[in-house]
Amino acid sequence: MRRVGYVWGMALTLTSLSQIPALGFDDIIDVRAPSEFAEDHVPGAINLPVLDDAERAQVGTIYKQDSPFRARKVGAALVAANAARHLQGVLADKPGGWRPLVYCWRGGQRSGSFASILAQIGWRVELVAGGYKTYRGLVVEALYHQPFAGRLVVLDGNTGSAKTALLARLAQRGVQVLDLEGLAHHRGSLFGALAGGQPSQKAFESALAAALIAYDPAQVLVVEAESSKVGNCRLPASLWKAMQTAPRLAISAPVEARAAYLVRAYADLVTDPARLGRVIARLKPAHAAEQIAAWQALSETGAFQALAADLMARHYDPRYAKHRARSAPPLEDFRAESLDEAGLDQLADRLAGRIARLQGELTNG
């Protein structure tokens, strides 16, 4: 596609997700309504709606109940007013060489109208042919219709073994990591909800697809052991199957060390006893009333480390052991006596060394 000046009517045809970052647009603008943007959008896009949710509903009602002509007239006036607001606001300081990529739902009137105004100013604006629907199709193709191509290594270990913290330390040491809990904004257990809630399934998939295209498939990619769902976000089947058959590096640590780590990692729950009590109550289907009451008592008295240790001993560890009994043994076990900052740094160094050797084995083998 030629990019000498701007010819109105030309649109960028996306054939792969890697095109978007590779083309180096200054900004990606999603002109859909805020609710559409909130459900999912191209990672990194900003929302400059040309019709907000109420206006979009208003135009749609006029289109159906009155006439398409009047709907277009009302819609055009609203688009012009909103475009003026964006030009006088967030776009006011954009330079003459600014180069944005604009999209709406299907690459139709909303993005076309806004891009036309930007082009008349002289900015080198481009549209996404087919809009968000084209982008979404590429995400689905990448995650659900293509086999997973990465060289996965799974970081395994019982609850409280600091796997997420170790992933961050491995990334600092130059190891490729895939933080599924970070993408899903959830710590992966019944107690794992975070403030702000989780992204939609579509938004999670967008973030996951964007992360995967940034990786070098020839290099090992380390991922934390997870179930097929992280909170409410489902993993694509190809990734989940690859995780089940990938070599595992297992972390082990004493219950006391894991409990101390959990109290630090779940500080938001420790400082909100009412919320912690509600989460404990959700364990009622799996445990006797007396056990739930005992855990509630530990929470109410502030005995959080004892609570974490007992939850692991009576709930989490037995379930992990049952699951692992059906799996192949780990490639190697890494024992840590402490999971404090120094202990985690030492453990990350050991893991990074083993991963480097594994990378060499895979490359030479």
CA distance 314 to 291: 9
Secondary structure letter of residue 324 according to DSSP = H
The separation between the first and the last C-alpha atoms of the chain, rounded to the nearest angstrom, is 41
Written as six digits, the tokens of 249 are 């590096």
Classify residue 239 as exposed, middle or buried by CB count within 10 Å of its CB (0-12, 13-18, 19+). buried
Burial of 338 (0-12, 13-18, 19+ CB in 10 A): middle
In degrees to the nearest 10, what's the CA dihedral of 203, 208, 211, 213?
-110
In this structure, the strands spanning 233-234 and 229-230 are: antiparallel
**233: three-class secondary structure by DSSP:** strand
Q: Is residue 140 classed as helix, strand or coil in its secondary structure? A: helix
The phi and psi torsions of 128 (rounded to 5 degrees) equal -95, 115
Beta strand 11-12 with 220-224 is unpaired
Residue in 274, 283, 253, 286 with CA at minimum distance from that of residue 161? 253
Q: Which two tokens stand for residue 215?
A: 């990786």
Q: What is the CA radius of gyration of the chain?
A: 25
Which entry of 104, 118, 166, 307 is annotated as an active-site residue?
A: 104
Assess contact for 282 and 189: CB atoms under 8 A.
no
Helix 341-364 with 163-172: angle, nearest 10 deg: 70
DSSP 235: P
Q: Catalytic annotation on 104? A: yes
Which sequence positions are flagged as catalytic? Answer: 104
